[in-house]
Amino acid sequence: MTEPSVFTRIIQREIPSDIVFEDDRVIAFRDIAPQAPVHVLVVPKTEQYRDVTELASGDPELLAHVVAVAKQIAAAHSDGDFRLVFNTGAGGGQTVFHVHAHVLAGGLEEGSLA
C-alpha cells in the first residue's frame, strides 16, 4: 500500500494548512511557497486521479467543480482575474501526484509564467 499524499494528509488534518475553502468534494488552501500574491491550491478530496488528464476523463463534473471553486477563490481574494495551472507529470513540474489546481492572482505580470 502506498503512503497517502501530502494533500490527503492535509485533508485528514494530519498536516496543518491555511484553508480558504472546503466542501464535500474539494479543499482549497494557500500554497506554502507562493508564486503570486494569491496562490491557492484546489485539491479534490479523492486520491483516485493523479493528474488533470485522468480527472477530465474520469470525472468531468469534479473538474468543472475545481474550476468553479478557483473562480470563486479569485473573486474573494483578488479582483476576479486569475491564472489556473495544472502541472501534469514530472516533466511538467508536477511534484505531488494527487490532482490539484494552482489558482494564481494579484500582481501577475502579463506574459509571465508561474
Choice among 39, 77, 100, 102 that is catalytic: 100
Instruction: Count Cβ atoms below 10 Å from residue 9 Cβ, excluding itself.
Output: 13
For Cα atoms 81, 83, 87, give the angle at the middle one, nearest 5 degrees.
Answer: 165
What order of strands is seen across the sheet that includes strand 83-85?
A: 19-22, 26-30, 38-44, 101-105, 83-85
Is 100 a known active-site residue? Answer: yes
Residue indicated by cell numbers 493528474: 51
Under 8 Å between Cβ of 80 and 64: no
Helix (H, G, I), strand (E, B) or coil at 27: strand
Residues with a known catalytic role: 100
